[in-house]
Amino acid sequence: MIPGNICTAHLDLEPFHCEDVKEEYRAWLSDWETVRLTAAKLNPSLNSLRDYVARNNADTNAYLWRIVADTHGAAAHVGNIRLSGLKHDHAELAILLGRPYWGRGIARRAIDAAATSVLSGDAHRTIARTPLRKLYAGILTANIASRKAFEHSGFTVVATLRDHAKVDGRFTDQWLMERFRLDED
């Protein structure tokens, strides 16, 4: 479904439409380091990315935002954040930033903005639902930066799933992280 905007002092999360899929976004997924850290498909086509955006926007249990942040004095699309698999009042949260934007604190701010919104009364506005109880994330154990970014936003590792993903033909472990709504702790 198409979500509502989430605006913060440092960045905005905006609905992601098919026409927002540009070559720069495709290039982020042509970066081997990104693929190694996420088990994403290398070198997707623009059409397959437009399909991905359209499928998310049509899925009643998913919400996809573009992360828009100030870079060199102008607002730019720097990554995406996605809520998916909504059921039993919980959902999965996943994030991807373009490599030029890594290491500036964007991920922890974007994760915190999305999580705080959907776990609070703001959820009525941003995802047209009652607040969720819990969010979870799956992170390959090679991805220390992602683990730290989620920890900064109150997620904790609750399990290590062994040989849970395959990257370049090799199985790899994955952390399962979760964050409850504050009054559900």
Catalog residues that contact ligand COA under the rule CB under 6 A: 34, 37-38, 94-97, 102-108, 139, 143-146, 148-149, 152
Q: How far, in Å, CA of 102 to CA of 51, rounded?
A: 26
Smallest distance, ligand COA to C-beta of residue 183, A: 26
| CA torsion, ordered 110, 147, 2, 79, to nearest 10 deg | 60
Q: Which is nearer to ligand COA, 94 or 167 (CB)?
A: 94
Backbone angles phi, psi at 53, to 5 degrees: -65, -45
Q: How far apart are CA 39 and CA 124, in angstroms?
A: 33
The nearest distance, CB 156 to ligand COA, in angstroms, is 15
Q: Which is nearer to ligand COA, 10 or 125 (CB)?
A: 10
Q: How far is the CB of 109 from ligand COA (least distance, A)?
A: 7
Give the residue nearest to ligand COA (CB): 107
Least distance (Å) between residue 143 CB and ligand COA:
5
Kindly report the CA angle at 115 between 153 and 85, in degrees rounded to 5? 125
Residue 77 · residue 96 · CB < 8 Å = no
Task: Give the nearer residue to ligand COA in terms of CB position, either 8 or 129.
Answer: 8
